[in-house]
Amino acid sequence: MWTALLAIAVALAWAVPAAADQTVVKTGRITSTNPDWVYVPVNVPAGTREIAVSYSYNRDPGNTLDIGIFDSDGIGLGNNAGFRGWSGGARSSFTISRSAATPGYRPGRIEPGTWNVILGPYQVGPTGIDYRIEITLRSGPPGPRFVPRPPREFVPGPGRGWYRGDLHVHTVHSDGQFLPGDAADRAVAANLDFFFSSEHNTDTANSIWDLHRRPGLLVIGGEEITTRAGHWNALGLPAGTWIDWRYRPSDGQLGRFTGQVRRLGGLSIANHPTCPLSGCGWLFGYRDMDLIEVWNGPWDVFDNQAIQVWENELRSGNFIPLAGASDAHRDPQVIGLPQTVVRAVRLSRTRVLAGLARGRSYVAESAQVALGMKAFTRRDRAGIGRRLRARPGEAVSVRLRVGGAAGAVATLHTEDGVVATSTVNGNPGTVTAALPAATDWVRAEVRRTSGGSMVALTNPIFIR
């Protein structure tokens, strides 16, 4: 009898149809009085295999609405477990399953509970934003688990030397148009040794870079944290680590997240600090920053302003190493314009980050430009980012060697301003100068004679 009853129970279980797919529609209105982030809850039932989200809104003048999602682990500030992806305004739809997800979103199990679509009203025009979100919950077996393929920690190479890299590169994992493999190929074509992945507010590219490995090229994980009061890059993030962006200076949270980056062995860099666009210029101050991006893409007036911001910090006694990067998203933007050239013991994540942190670097517009700078006394010598030992009143000489910039003008700068100016004659050309007594530091710039655009610039040499 029990056997017969069991057979009937099994038959009934098979006869019950699987849960049907369902679509949920959420609508709402956002005005200029709304907070920075709007959360739209969605109940996800057990047995959901895939979530598909699409959204639309009235794109009246002044309206820009970003989108992302958190899962049932919650929306708390810094909740790495709950974060499931962000595409900003780059996409109108995305999907997530255990096996795969739209770039910018994390694959993984679809756990039941309350998920939250997050809306970011980047700009709200006078008409307000009326939005419509369509969430389709597809049922079925979960599918195979996604297997991350993060980038390698180092690349075999010649050892100690100067390595060229781009600290700020975007792909289709945020608002870029480069495929990851295309970005890697362009980095190789620019003669780069490394670049940092830096997608807006999402870490998903850091889990796939080993699929796009190129000989001799090191890819280092990162994220561009796009707050409403400026952008910064978390450089050197391990795969699976996401850094939150949902705060302003008045919230007092920046140090919490830059501290998180440092504990992971990474660095924080203030991006394009003088950018004139809304939410783009840096308003947090520099106490929590490890680097400042003073050269972003092709040289322009805002880079000149960023150099002044950086030098003001230096003159106040707050040395934060400078760097440059392309911030390339799509053609005709060029990966490797400009590039930061770092002195490192080897081509590895930890050693590149160490060189950047110490200011053992300079910035050049391309791989055709190379700098070498030394400061000397009778007893000591030091290079970029180093300290020269000098007795009070002791003569200090500087030699700057410039390759790939014949005809440009080189200047040496100290805390007293420009102390030497010379045209670069030859390729390479050499510029020498004697520094005034009691100089604290010296740095170099190389600019074109026509228009004054930058060709290269260095971090300082410090003089004790």
CA distance 30 to 121: 8
pLDDT, the chain, mean: 94
Write out the residue range of the structural domain in which residue 355 sits: 159-367
Q: Mapping DSSP to helix (H, G, I), strand (E, B) and coil, where does residue 245 land?
A: coil
Q: In this structure, is residue 2 part of a structural domain?
A: no
Mark out the alpha helices in 358-441 (DSSP H runs).
Answer: none
Residue 1 clears pLDDT 70, i.e. is over it: no
Residue 39 three-state SS: strand
* pLDDT for residue 8: 36
Tell whether the model's pLDDT for residue 13 goes beyond 80: no
- The band of 20, judged by pLDDT with boundaries at 50, 70 and 90, is confident
Tokens, residue 389 = 């030992």
Give the pTM: 0.93
In the DSSP assignment, the letter for residue 101 is B
Q: Looking at this protein, which amino acid is placed at residue 405?
A: A
- Are residues 238 and 343 both part of a single domain? yes
pLDDT of residue 391: 87
Query: In one letter, which amino acid is 445?
Result: E
What are the tokens at 366? 């391309």
Cβ contact 267:242 at 8 Å = no
Other Cβ atoms closer than 10 A to 358:
15
Q: What angle do CA 348, 354, 356 make, to 5 degrees?
A: 105
Q: Kindly state the tokens that stand for 78.
A: 């810094």
Split at pLDDT 50, 70, 90, the class of 437 is confident
CATH number at residue 64: 2.60.120.380
pLDDT tens-digit readout, 297-318: 999 999 999 999 999 999 999 9
* Spatial distance between the Cα atoms of 350 and 191, rounded to a whole number of angstroms: 21
396 and 287 within one domain: no
pLDDT band at residue 19 using 50, 70 and 90 as cut-offs: low
112-151 residue pLDDT tens: 999 999 999 999 999 999 999 999 999 999 999 999 999 9
Listed in order, strand segments (DSSP E) in 349-406 are 361-364, 370-376, 381-383, 387-388, 396-403
Tokens found for residue 35: 């907070």
**d(Cα 174, Cα 90) in Å, to the nearest integer?**
7
| Pure H helices in 217-348 | 254-263, 301-315
Residue 263, classed as helix, strand or coil, is: helix
Contact in structure between 393 and 431 (CB atoms under 8 Å) = no
Instruction: Please enumerate in sequence order all residues whose Cβ is within 8 A of that of 169, keeping only pairs 6 or more positions apart, or say none.
Output: 176, 178, 183, 187, 195, 196, 197, 198, 325, 326, 327, 328, 335
Q: Is residue 145 part of a domain?
A: no
Position 404 in a domain = yes
CATH at 354: 3.20.20.140
Same domain for 204 and 110, yes or no, is no
pLDDT at 4: 41
For residues 129 and 196, give the distance between their C-alpha atoms in angstroms, rounded to a whole number: 35
- For the cut 50, the answer to whether the pLDDT of residue 6 exceeds it is no
Task: Check pLDDT > 90 for residue 331.
Answer: yes
The answer to whether residue 84 is domain-embedded is yes
Q: How confident is the model at residue 438 (pLDDT cuts 50, 70, 90)?
A: confident
Mean pLDDT in residue range 363-373: 98
Whether residue 256 sits in one domain with residue 393 = no
Instruction: Identify the domain boundary among 109, 139, 169.
Output: 139
**Residue 199 pLDDT greater than 90, yes or no:** yes
| pLDDT > 90: percent of the chain | 92
